[in-house]
Amino acid sequence: MSIRELRADCANCFGLCCVALAFTASADFATTKAVGEPCRNLRPDYRCGIHSRLRESGFPGCTVYDCFGAGQQVSQVTFGGTSWHDADARAMFDVFPVMRQLHELLWYMTSALTWSAARPVHKDLRRELARVTDLTNGKPAELLALDVAAVRQDVNTLLLKSSELVRADVRPQKKDRRGADLIGAKLKGADLRGANLRGAYLIGADLRDADLRKADLIGADLRDTDLAGADLSDALFLSQTQVNAAKGNAVTRLPAALTRPPHWT
């Protein structure tokens, strides 16, 4: 499994995120829709009719979402290229979020396998990567019966070990901010190299020009976090969803596997 395969390929998906997921009218979505109800902006060819202007049209939430490639996996592999119009739509919609969780785990493991400092757990990571990859190729009924929480727990043990090995090379005694409430925190220019920010709440925090190299950001909430000028070039477990939810600029440094969002200034 490569990072490329874990990126959304909308051309090979049947607009699953636009149908299978529900959303409520809010600052993120201009309207309300239920699971199984196609978004009003979904075209017959399964493309978004306002993709280039989602934010100004009241759908910034759509620009944040990333399926980690689960859409094309469900569309082309699990259901063999048959769209929800012709397949068991309910099963397809139920499988999609399960697949997304599995693909997210694949993203994290694939990333960890690129870190030389985590080599002591690479063998175990490769084993788990193969196991979860096999799960993603299961039939709809198998995927729906899967205990994803248990799978996630097994994988997370290895991810945590990988993180500890990498961060120990930076600063062994770095303060643990796992799950910390840092909403709106003033951290401009902060030295957060090797910090444990797993699951931290950084909503609206000021991280301009902060150094986040090798900081563990798995599960961190970066909604409206100001990352202008920040260095996240080798931040651990940073995802496209987190980047899309944050604010940044032309000099914000991101890992090579991630893309600078169009809405960043």
The structural domains of the chain, ordered by start, are 4-21+65-167 (no CATH), 173-265 (2.160.20.80)
The overall average pLDDT reported for the chain is: 95
Per-residue pLDDT at 36 exceeds 70? yes
Ranges 54-63, 103-112, 144-153, 174-183: which has the least confidence: 174-183
| Mean pLDDT calculated for residue range 130-140 | 97
What is the distance between the alpha carbons of residues 120 and 96, in angstroms, rounded to a whole number? 33
pLDDT band at 170 (very low <50, low <70, confident <90, very high): confident
Query: Residue holding tokens 């306002």?
Result: 50
Residue 3 pLDDT: 72
∠ CA 62-65-66, nearest 5°, is 135
Confirm if 146 and 140 have CB atoms less than 8 A apart.
no
Rounded to whole angstroms, what are the CA distances from 250 to 189, 225, 259? Answer: 17, 15, 12
Per-residue pLDDT at 174 exceeds 70? no
Residue 169 pLDDT: 80
Tell me the per-residue pLDDT of 177-203, one tens digit each, with 9 for 90 and over. Answer: 999 999 999 999 999 999 999 999 999
Q: How far is CA 166 from the centre of its chain?
A: 21
Report the candidate in 56, 61, 88, 64 with the shortest Cα–Cα distance to residue 74. Answer: 88
Ranges 36-50, 101-115, 144-158, 170-184: which has the least confidence: 170-184
Q: How far is CA 40 from the centre of its chain?
A: 25
Residue 69 pLDDT: 96
Rounded to whole angstroms, what are the CA distances from 175 to 180, 193, 217, 234? Answer: 11, 10, 14, 19
Q: For the beta carbon of residue 98, count every other beta carbon within 10 angstroms.
A: 21
Ranges 50-59, 69-78, 172-181, 207-216: which has the least confidence: 172-181
The amino acid that residue 80 corresponds to is: G
Confirm if 258 and 235 have CB atoms less than 8 A apart.
no
Mutual angle of helices 148-168 and 122-136, in 10-degree steps:
150
Confirm if 128 and 155 have CB atoms less than 8 A apart.
yes
What is the distance between the alpha carbons of residues 63 and 261, in angstroms, rounded to a whole number? 9
Q: Which residues pair with 216 in a beta bridge?
A: 196, 236
Considering the entire predicted model, what is its pTM? 0.93
Residue 172 pLDDT: 58
Confirm if 214 and 237 have CB atoms less than 8 A apart.
no
- Comparison of pLDDT for 4 and 81, the residue scoring more: 81
Per-residue pLDDT at 1 exceeds 90? no
